[in-house]
């Protein structure tokens, strides 16, 4: 018999069907057995009644057993209808049960909201956690949103390009993970903090409009709601100014909310804008929560922050700080034209405003970008302000400066923190709830037990000794 999905059972009233899935709940009452079954499309109640041979097998069923259930779809009598439940008006009268696989006892109940469960246990048994209704919804909606963005940007003539993971460091203000090379002993790859340099090189490569759902890796100290790897919606465009990037992204966000989250309301369209200085003076931070009603779970208050300072004094927090000044967002952001004179003369550095823009939502930064230095001498000037000497500039960024000399178009872009956006849209308290295989705050994968020690031979091959 062909499998029928639980979500479409209501089309089969009075017919015999077979469903396949998991036992969600099992209850036994004398000569009767009641079950909830679950597949990817939802849940349904099944009952065994008056069939001793079926009851025999039914008694073996425990939660999370994988089963094929044959039965007749019955409409429930009116007084038994549960209108608040999917399939609350039908019931499966079970005629046959096949056990496809057994299950050990789940370390936590997954027929409810698993947020109540100790998170380390959830992360260790993530595959069980993922079966819960809320996690299923989060990950499936994440896919829906991703698909929407892919289609939208493809329609706007963007090309999706994959950029390397094994690479050289791109400074984005934090530490990079490094990977030892076996073939070039003593040398290391860096895992990308973002595809920043590659996307700029794609503009020099003539693509004009690029996007990617890019995995980014940053080796940060355990600080709040961070993950060592996360996903950005990354994009870059040629022949654009700030306004072009801002308006394209604003349109995309509005369409996305309208199509994927029709129950939500955007507080203000066009999105309001505020300069960095204004935000700091008025709110004391650069991602103010401007919601009119902070208790409304369906209210989305987007806000652009613009006119960031280009440089800040180095401090212990600036991993890269060699000189007195360092970049505020990334070193490729172009200063605004009005500040060109000071910038090129390396004067009044603290006053120089960059083309950087951030998009914030309900008090979170959900993205940021800028127009870039497409001119090699401007780019070099930034590194000089940061106190890099010629040797370091050439060693770290020689490839970028060379590339910029070969007809680099004016370009700029943005990257969204995709996990964070989904977290906010799903009203989840942290990004781990929308990342299928999340790590702990200490960067551990409790399920795969990573990071882990490697064996001596592997280290020897890499030329590594502790």
Binding site for ligand ASP (CB under 6 A): 172, 194, 196, 330, 368-370, 413-415
The distance of closest approach from Cβ of residue 416 to ligand ASP in the complex, given in angstroms and rounded to an integer, is 9
The distance of closest approach from Cβ of residue 329 to ligand ASP in the complex, given in angstroms and rounded to an integer, is 6
Instruction: Output the furthest CA–CA distance in the chain (Å, rounded).
Output: 91
Q: How far is CA 188 from CA 314, 386, 464, in A?
A: 26, 24, 12
The distance of closest approach from Cβ of residue 367 to ligand ASP in the complex, given in angstroms and rounded to an integer, is 8
The distance of closest approach from Cβ of residue 47 to ligand ASP in the complex, given in angstroms and rounded to an integer, is 54
The residues, any chain, with a CB within 8 Å of residue 16's CB and separated by 6 or more, are 1, 70, 71, 72, 73, 95
The distance of closest approach from Cβ of residue 414 to ligand ASP in the complex, given in angstroms and rounded to an integer, is 5
H or E, element range at 415: strand 411-417
Two tokens at 378? 């401007």
Q: Considering beta carbons, is residue 45 or 231 the nearer one to ligand ASP?
A: 231
CA 32 to chain centre: 46
Q: How far is CA 135 from CA 125, 380, 434, in A?
A: 13, 47, 7
CB 286 within 8 A of CB 358: yes
Q: Considering beta carbons, is residue 172 or 307 the nearer one to ligand ASP?
A: 172
Phi, psi for residue 377 in degrees, rounded to 5: -70, -35
As a residue count, the chain comes to 466
Q: Considering beta carbons, is residue 279 or 414 the nearer one to ligand ASP?
A: 414
Q: Considering beta carbons, is residue 111 or 358 the nearer one to ligand ASP?
A: 358
Distance CA 53, CA 251 (A): 61
Q: What is the CA radius of gyration of the chain?
A: 28
Two tokens at 86? 């999917």
Distance CA 371, CA 243 (A): 10
The distance of closest approach from Cβ of residue 234 to ligand ASP in the complex, given in angstroms and rounded to an integer, is 6
Q: Considering beta carbons, is residue 37 or 210 the nearer one to ligand ASP?
A: 210
The residue nearest ligand ASP at its CB is: 194
The distance of closest approach from Cβ of residue 342 to ligand ASP in the complex, given in angstroms and rounded to an integer, is 22
Could you tell me which residues are beta bridge partners of residue 38? 22, 43
Q: 420-425 long-range CB contacts below 8 Å, 24 or more apart?
A: 420/364, 420/365, 420/366, 421/145, 421/361, 421/366, 421/367, 422/138, 422/141, 422/142, 422/145, 424/300, 424/361, 424/362, 424/364, 424/366, 425/141, 425/145, 425/257, 425/260, 425/261, 425/264, 425/300
Q: Considering beta carbons, is residue 114 or 354 the nearer one to ligand ASP?
A: 354
Q: Considering beta carbons, is residue 279 or 333 the nearer one to ligand ASP?
A: 333
B/e letters for 338-367, b = 16+ CB within 10 Å, e = fewer, are ebeebbeeeeebeebbbbbbbbbbbbbbbb
Q: Considering beta carbons, is residue 149 or 415 the nearer one to ligand ASP?
A: 415
How many alpha carbons fall within 13 Å on the CB side of residue 31? 5
The DSSP secondary-structure symbol of 339 reads G
The distance of closest approach from Cβ of residue 339 to ligand ASP in the complex, given in angstroms and rounded to an integer, is 18
Q: Considering beta carbons, is residue 45 or 356 the nearer one to ligand ASP?
A: 356
Q: Considering beta carbons, is residue 71 or 413 the nearer one to ligand ASP?
A: 413
Q: Considering beta carbons, is residue 22 or 383 the nearer one to ligand ASP?
A: 383
Distance CA 24, CA 45 (A): 10
The distance of closest approach from Cβ of residue 63 to ligand ASP in the complex, given in angstroms and rounded to an integer, is 43
The distance of closest approach from Cβ of residue 34 to ligand ASP in the complex, given in angstroms and rounded to an integer, is 52
Which candidate, 301, 295, 370, 293, places its Cα nearest to that of 332?
Answer: 370
The distance of closest approach from Cβ of residue 198 to ligand ASP in the complex, given in angstroms and rounded to an integer, is 10
Distance CA 255, CA 250 (A): 9
């Amino acid at each position: 018999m062909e499998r029928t999905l639980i979500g479409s059972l209501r089309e089969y009233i009075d017919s015999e069907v077979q469903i396949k899935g998991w036992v969600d709940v099992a209850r036994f009452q004398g000569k009767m057995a009641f079950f909830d079954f679950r597949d990817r499309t939802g849940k349904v109640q099944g009952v065994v009644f008056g069939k001793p041979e079926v009851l025999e097998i039914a008694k073996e069923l425990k939660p999370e057993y994988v089963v094929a259930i044959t039965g007749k779809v019955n409409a429930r009598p009116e007084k038994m209808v549960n209108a608040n439940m999917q399939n609350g008006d039908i019931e499966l009268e079970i005629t046959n049960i096949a056990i496809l696989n057994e299950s050990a006892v789940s370390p936590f109940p997954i027929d409810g909201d698993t947020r109540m469960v100790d998170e380390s246990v959830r992360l260790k048994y993530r595959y069980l956690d993922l079966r819960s209704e809320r996690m299923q919804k989060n990950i499936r909606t994440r896919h829906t949103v991703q698909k929407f963005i892919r289609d939208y940007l493809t329609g706007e003539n963007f090309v999706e390009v994959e950029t390397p993971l094994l690479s050289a460091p791109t400074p984005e203000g934090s530490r990079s993970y490094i990977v030892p090379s076996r073939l070039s002993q003593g040398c290391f790859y860096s895992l990308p903090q973002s595809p920043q340099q590659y996307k700029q090189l794609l503009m020099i490569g003539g693509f004009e409009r690029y996007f990617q759902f890019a995995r980014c890796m940053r080796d940060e100290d355990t600080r709040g709601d961070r993950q060592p790897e996360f996903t950005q919606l990354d994009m870059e465009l040629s022949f654009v100014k700030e306004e072009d990037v801002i308006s394209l992204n604003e349109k995309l966000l509005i369409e996305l909310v309208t199509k994927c989250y029709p129950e939500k309301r955007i507080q203000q369209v066009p999105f309001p804008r505020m300069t960095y200085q204004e935000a700091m003076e008025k709110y004391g931070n650069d991602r103010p929560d401007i919601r009119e009603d902070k208790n409304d779970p369906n209210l989305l208050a987007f806000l652009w922050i613009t006119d960031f300072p280009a440089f800040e004094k180095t401090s212990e927090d600036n991993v890269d700080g060699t000189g007195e000044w360092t970049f505020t967002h990334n070193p490729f952001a172009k200063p605004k034209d009005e500040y060109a004179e000071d910038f090129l003369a390396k004067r009044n550095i603290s006053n120089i405003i960059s083309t950087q823009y951030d998009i914030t939502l309900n008090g979170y930064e959900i993205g940021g970008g800028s127009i870039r230095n497409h001119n090699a001498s401007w780019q070099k000037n930034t590194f000089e302000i940061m106190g890099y000497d010629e040797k370091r500039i050439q060693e770290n960024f020689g490839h970028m400066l060379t590339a910029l000399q070969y007809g680099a178009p004016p370009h700029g872009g943005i990257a969204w923190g995709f996990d964070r956006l989904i977290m906010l849209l799903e009203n989840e308290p942290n990004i781990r709830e929308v990342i299928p295989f999340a790590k702990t705050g200490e960067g551990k994968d409790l399920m795969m037990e990573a990071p882990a020690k490697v064996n001596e031979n592997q280290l020897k091959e890499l030329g590594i000794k502790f």
